[in-house]
Amino acid sequence: MKIVLLGYGKMGQLIERFAMKRGHEVVLIVDESNRSSITSEDLEDADMAIDFSTPDAALENISLCFESDLPLVVGTTGWYEHLEEVKETCLDADQSLLYGSNFSIGVNIFFHINKMLAKAMNPYKQYDVQVEEIHHIHKLDAPSGTAITIAEGILENSDDKKSWVNSVEGSGEEVIPKADELLIESLRIEEVPGTHTVLYSSEVDQIEFKHTAHSREGFALGAVIAAEWLFGKKGFYQVTEMFDFNK
């Protein structure tokens, strides 16, 4: 495929490396230095776009790709409040978009088992549950999109938790969740690629379910595989649709 990279930070550079390793060509790189001058004509020769930009830029990039009839994979998070309108526009215009909070194979297995664990724990009311996420200090959004996906998987399978609330360590704002609220605690520590933990605590014990990323490479490779999966398809997809854990 001929790929356009939207965003060229650490993730964009890793995606370029894995795309080339897998036989693809990066034909255009778009970042803050040239974004204002890019038009749909610049994307005419491309087959696919991959967006790892910023929450503010992602919506503009999605619109540009729709105008250009260019399929795109969106790994940027922090824009999901606009998800339904983007989905409607995508389907109405017969475009192609795949989005996800995390493209790592391991994390998507984690998402699946997290739902199974939440369902198994649901009858045992002596356990309270919370989610903890740790990322590098450069991450712009909190909680992470991955943590939100984990929280949503718990909420889908819990009779007691109805919504999630976020506490950011060091923000100076104390967040005390209500009984029906799921706490997501966010920590920002130097260059941590991403650690997510689900904790079920009772008076007598604690269960921890944890995923630790050792580098960003799993995310980057997964994004390229997602682009390969999306190629030739029309529609609006989540990254979880790439995986079938029910076989």
Does residue 244 have a pLDDT over 80? no
246 falls in which pLDDT band (50, 70, 90)?
Answer: low
**End-to-end Cα spacing for the chain:** 30
Tell me the C-alpha distance between 201 and 126, whole Å.
8
Q: Average pLDDT in the 180-187 region?
A: 96
Q: How far is CA 109 from CA 127, 226, 244, in A?
A: 23, 15, 10
- Report the distance separating Cα 17 and Cα 50, nearest Å: 13
pTM over 0.95: no
Q: Is the peptide bond before 143 cis (omega within 30 degrees of 0)?
A: yes
Q: What pLDDT, on a 0 to 100 scale, did the predictor assign at position 87?
A: 97
β-pair partners for 212: 195
Which of 9, 54, 60, 2 lies closest to 28 in space, CA to CA?
2
Maximal CA-CA distance, the chain: 63
Mean pLDDT on 200-209: 98
* Overall average pLDDT of the 176-191 stretch: 93
Distance CA 49, CA 70 (A): 7
Q: pLDDT per residue over 125-161, tens digit each?
A: 999 999 999 998 877 678 988 899 999 999 999 999 9
pLDDT-derived band at 186, boundaries 50, 70, 90: very high
pLDDT at 190 over 90: no
> CA–CA separation, 155 vs 180, rounded Å?
10
168: β partners: 186
Cα separation, 35 vs 10, in Å, equals 18
Strands across the sheet with 48-51, in order?
25-30, 2-6, 48-51, 72-74, 96-99, 235-238
Mean pLDDT of 167-183: 90
Choosing from 135, 161, 196, 211, the catalytic residue is 135
Which residue among the candidates 115, 138, 139, 247 is catalytic per the annotation?
A: 139
Tokens of 189: 């520590």
| 196 in catalytic set | no
196 forms beta bridges with 133, 211
Q: Is 82 a catalytic site residue?
A: no
Model pLDDT, residue 201: 98
| 233, pLDDT greater than 60 | yes
Rounded to the nearest integer, the mean pLDDT of the chain is 93
Structure token digits, residue 63: 């619109």
pLDDT of 51: 97
d(CA 239, CA 75): 9
The whole-angstrom separation of Cα 229 and Cα 239 is 10
What is the predicted pLDDT for the residue at 102? 87
Using DSSP's 3-state secondary structure scheme, residue 179 falls into coil
pLDDT at residue 113, as a whole number: 96
pLDDT at 139: 76
pLDDT band at 247, cuts 50/70/90? low
